[in-house]
Structure 1
C-alpha cells in the first residue's frame, strides 16, 4: 500500500470515529480534524457515503441513523458545534438591558445563557440554563418549576402555562427539534405546551436552530412558522426553505 493510500485510510478511520461520536460533521469539522483542504474534505465525504458510512448533507455528513430518533439533551451537548456558538452570539445581540426574556431548553440556547452579562430578567424551564445563569448576578432569574423531565432536562407543571401566557416577554428565544412547512415540532407534549404559551404572549419570537432540523421528525407542534419574527440559523436558506416562512420573518445566519 502506498504512503498516500495509508494516510487516506488513517484519515478515514479518524473521520469515522468522529462521526460515530458526534453523529454529524460539517466540512469545516473534517478539515480541522484531519488537516485537509475543503476540496479533499468534499471528496472524502463522497467516498465515505459510497461506503455506507453516512449520509451526505449540504454542509457535510451525518450518521446513517441521524434524524430517525431524537437524541437526548445530554447526547446533543456532545454535538455542540462552532455553528451553534456563532448562532448563540447572534441571539445575544438581541438581549437588551432591562429586558424580560424567555430562554428555551436547547443546547444552542444553553450557550446563550452562559454568555449573558446584561442586567435583565430571564424566565426558563431549563435546568441547565438555570444553572448557567445562577452565577450571573446581573440576571434576575425566574425558574419555571414543576416535575423534571430527565431526558429533556426541563421542568413542567400545568399551572405554569397560565403564568407564561400572561407575560409580554420582550423576546422569547426558542429552540427546535424539527421544522416543517406548518410549524416547529418537539418530542414532548408538555414542552410543546410551554412553547405555545410563550409564543402567544411574547412581543418577539426568536427561533435559534440549525437547518438540519428540516430533516428531523417530531410529534408535537410548539408554534407555527407564522409566529416566528426572527430565525437564527447556521446558513442561508434555500428558496424552498425560505418560502415556508412569511416574508416578514428575518433570517439571520453567520457570515
Structure 2
C-alpha cells in the first residue's frame, strides 16, 4: 500500500465517488512508484462492485489521464493480470458532472406567440416564459441532473433490475467452431489443441439437449469450456496412467510368480531312466497269469 497514492486520491474532490473507490482500491495495492497489478476479482471485492462495473470505471480513469493500463503476459505467452500506473499528482481540470443552476427565472428565445403583451416585442427584449412552463422546465433540469448524478448503478439493487434478453442462436448438430481461433487461444493458454477435438462432440451433445439456450458466440463459449475442463482432463489422464502402470506392474509380478513356481516343480521332480524290458508292472494283473 502506498500512503502517497492514497493521499493523492483523497485530494481528487471532483472525482465521481464510484471511480474514486476503484482508484483507492488500486492505490491500496500500489507500491511507492504508483504501480500495481491486482486481479479484477481483487478490485471488485475491495470496491464492492461487479467486474463489469469496475472495467467501465477503469476505462473512465484512463480517459481522465489518472491511470495507465499495461498488458502483462507470462513467460509461456499466456495473459496475466493487467498492470496499472497511477499518475500520482495529476488533477481533474473539469468536473465530471455539472450542478444544476438555480431557477431564478427561465428565459426562452422562442418567438412570442399571440396573447403576449406588446411590451415583449421591443428590440433586444426576450420573451418571458409563463410560470407553468418555468416550473416544468425547472423540474426537467432537476430530473436530468439527478439522472446524470445517479447514472452509476446501485450495487445494492442489482437483483431488482430487469434481466436483458440474450441475443444469439441455439446450438445446431452441424455446428463447427472457428478452429483457427480455438487453436490460437489454447496455445496461448498452454493447452494441447488436440483436447478441443476430443471435447467437441460432448460439448455439442450437452447444448443440443438445451434448445432454449442461445448464445451470440458458441466458439467463445467452447474456448471457455476447454480452458475450464483442461485441469480435470489432465487429472484424469494422470490417474489413468498410474492405473495402467499398476496393472502392468501387477502382471509382471504374476508372470514372475508363475515362472518361479515352474522352476520349483522342475527342481523337485526326479527323472528315472525308462527300462523297456521291465515287465514287473504286470505281475499283479490276472490277465497275464
Q: TM-score range by the shorter chain?
A: under 0.3
Question: Which structure's residues are more often helix, by fraction?
Answer: 2
Query: TM-score normalized by structure 1?
Result: 0.21
Larger RCO (CA within 8 A; separation ≥ 6): 1
Query: TM-score normalized by structure 2?
Result: 0.19
Question: Which structure's residues are more often strand, by fraction?
Answer: 1
- Between structure 1 and structure 2, the one with the greater Rg is 2
